C-alpha cells in the first residue's frame, strides 16, 4: 500500500479543532493497513446500495436516505425518477404532490423542500448540472458533508473526504480508528489515517460490513474477518 504523499491530503490531516487525538493505538499504520487489506478481501468491489442513473438522481436518493433504509428509498425512487426526470421537474413540481410521492421515506415535508430547493438551485445557478466541488454542493438545500461526499465520491470519483454515516461512526469507534463521536471529527480522523486513494472504496466497504456483520445490536463477531484486529468493548466473541 502506498504511503500518503498528496499535499492536499496532508493539509487535511490535522485533527479538527476540539477533536480527540487520533494518535490512538488503533490508528497504528500497520494495523490500519491490515484492516484495509481484510476489507479489500471481503468486499473487493462494493459500491453504493442506492439506485441511480446519474449524479442528480444520486443526490436526490441520498437526501431521501436520511433516517430511512436504502431499500425503502430504492422503492420510492423507482417511481419518483420515472415521474420527475430532470432537475427542472423537481424544481417546479407541486410541493404537496412531491410530498406524497416521497412520503414513505419519512420526514417528507422537509425532504420535499430540500429536493425541490436543490433542483431549483441546480437549474438556476449551476446550469442544470450537479456541481463538482464540496463548497458548491454545500450550498444546496439539504446537503451536508455526508451527502456531498457520497455524490462527489460515488457519482464523480472525486475524493475530497470520507462519507461518515451511522455505520461509519459505529465501526470507526469499534475498530479504534477514531475516539470521536462527531461525524466531522471522525471524518478528519479517517482522512488522516486512510490513504486518499482508498477513501471512496473504504466508505462503501465499512458500510457493507456494518450492515452485514458489525451490526449496531449484536455484532456477528464470530463471522468477522476483522475480529483479530478489533478490541471493541461490545464484541460478542
| Active-site residue identified among 121, 165, 185, 189 | 165
Residue 70: Cβ within 10 Å count: 17
DSSP string computed for the chain:
------HHHHHT-SPPTTPPPS-SGGG-HHHHHHHHHHHHHH-TT---SS--SSHHHHHHHHHHTTTS-HHHHHHHHHHHHHH--SHHHHHTS-HHHHHHHHGGGS-HHHHHHHHHHHHHHHHHHSTTS---SHHHHTTSTT--HHHHHHIIIIIH---SS----HHHHHHHHHTTS----SHHHHHHHHHHHS-GGGHHHHHHHHHHHHHHTS-SSS--GGG-TTGGG---TT---
Question: Does residue 38 interact with ligand SF4 by CB under 6 A?
Answer: no
235 binds ligand SF4 (CB under 6 A): yes
With CB under 6 A as the contact rule, the residue among 66, 160, 175, 201 that binds ligand SF4 is 175
Q: Is 39 in the site for ligand SF4 (CB under 6 A)?
A: no
219 scored as a contact of ligand SF4 (CB under 6 A): yes
Q: Let me know: does 18 contact 185? Beta carbons within 8 Å.
A: yes
146 an active-site residue?
Answer: yes
Q: Which of 34, 42, 134, 221 binds ligand SF4 (CB under 6 A)?
A: 221
Is residue 32 a contact residue for ligand SF4 (CB under 6 A)? no
From candidates 146, 174, 198, 204, binder to ligand SF4 by CB under 6 A? 174
CB atoms within 10 A of CB 137: 23
- Considering only the stretches 93-101, 150-158, 192-200, 227-235, report the one whose residues sit in contact with ligand SF4 under the rule CB under 6 A: 227-235
Q: Is 165 in the active site?
A: yes
Residue reference for cell 488503533: 26
Q: How far is the CB of 204 from ligand SF4 (least distance, A)?
A: 16
Q: Is 213 in the site for ligand SF4 (CB under 6 A)?
A: yes
Q: Which of 39, 76, 186, 226 binds ligand SF4 (CB under 6 A)?
A: 226
Q: Does 232 bind ligand SF4 (CB under 6 A)?
A: yes
Does position 61 bind ligand SF4 by CB under 6 A?
no
Q: Which one of 91, 102, 160, 230 is in contact with ligand SF4 (CB under 6 A)?
A: 230
Please report, as ranges, the residues that interact with ligand SF4 according to CB under 6 A.
174-175, 213-214, 219-221, 224, 226-227, 230, 232, 235
Catalytic residues: 146, 165
Amino acid at each position: 500500500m502506498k504511503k500518503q504523499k498528496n499535499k492536499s491530503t496532508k493539509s487535511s490531516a490535522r485533527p479538527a479543532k476540539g477533536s480527540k487525538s487520533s494518535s490512538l493505538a488503533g490508528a497504528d499504520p500497520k494495523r490500519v493497513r491490515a484492516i484495509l487489506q481484510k476489507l479489500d478481501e471481503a468486499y473487493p468491489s462494493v459500491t453504493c446500495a442506492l439506485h441511480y442513473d446519474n449524479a442528480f438522481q444520486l443526490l436526490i436518493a441520498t437526501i431521501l436516505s436520511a433516517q430511512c433504509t436504502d431499500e425503502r428509498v430504492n422503492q420510492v425512487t423507482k417511481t419518483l425518477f420515472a415521474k420527475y426526470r430532470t432537475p427542472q421537474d423537481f424544481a417546479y413540481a407541486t410541493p404537496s404532490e412531491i410530498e406524497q410521492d416521497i412520503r414513505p421515506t419519512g420526514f417528507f415535508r422537509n425532504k420535499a423542500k430540500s429536493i425541490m430547493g436543490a433542483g431549483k438551485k441546480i437549474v438556476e445557478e449551476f446550469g442544470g448540472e450537479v456541481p463538482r466541488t464540496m463548497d458548491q454542493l454545500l450550498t444546496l438545500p439539504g446537503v451536508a458533508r455526508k451527502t456531498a461526499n457520497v455524490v462527489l465520491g460515488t457519482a464523480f470519483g472525486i475524493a475530497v473526504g470520507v462519507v461518515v454515516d451511522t455505520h461509519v461512526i459505529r465501526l470507526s469507534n469499534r475498530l479504534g480508528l477514531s475516539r470521536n463521536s462527531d461525524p466531522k471529527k471522525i471524518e478528519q480522523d479517517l482522512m488522516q489515517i486512510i490513504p486518499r486513494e482508498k477513501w471512496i472504496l473504504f466508505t462503501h466497504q465499512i458500510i457493507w460490513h456494518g450492515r452485514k456483520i458489525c451490526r449496531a445490536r449484536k455484532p456477528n463477531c464470530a463471522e468477522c474477518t476483522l475480529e483479530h484486529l478489533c478490541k471493541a468493548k461490545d464484541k460478542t466473541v
